[in-house]
Amino acid sequence: MDLTNPLPLLDEAVAALKTPLTEEDRNQGWTDDLRREIQEEISQNRSALRRHGLGVARYLRPRLEEWLDREGVEPGRLRSLVSEAQRWLETVDSDSAPMAESPRRHN
């Protein structure tokens, strides 16, 4: 997992979640509403990372896995992408994802 740039992973997850569900996805427990809600959550996190830099990742703590568990979603291609996106957000720390902003002044 590339801790230096999660955006391609998040882009991939959002793109996959924007496409219509397959019969296999539906059999795994996905619904159109759930797909849209999860896609929106990942999109918001991705936007925050783009606007404010990777350092904000330590403040983004989506509980997507718990959400999918409650909804009864089984393992599959979409759940794998969502899980990978969540794992990145859980494992990043301030040392591996510096803020993309101007250096701080020390007085």
Which residue type does 2 have?
D
Rounded to whole angstroms, how far apart are CA atoms 44 and 48? 6
Query: Which pTM value belongs to this model?
Result: 0.76
pLDDT tens string 39-71: 999 998 888 888 887 777 666 777 889 999 999
Tell me, what's the pLDDT at 48?
85
Whether the CB-CB separation of 100 and 53 falls below 8 Å is answered with yes
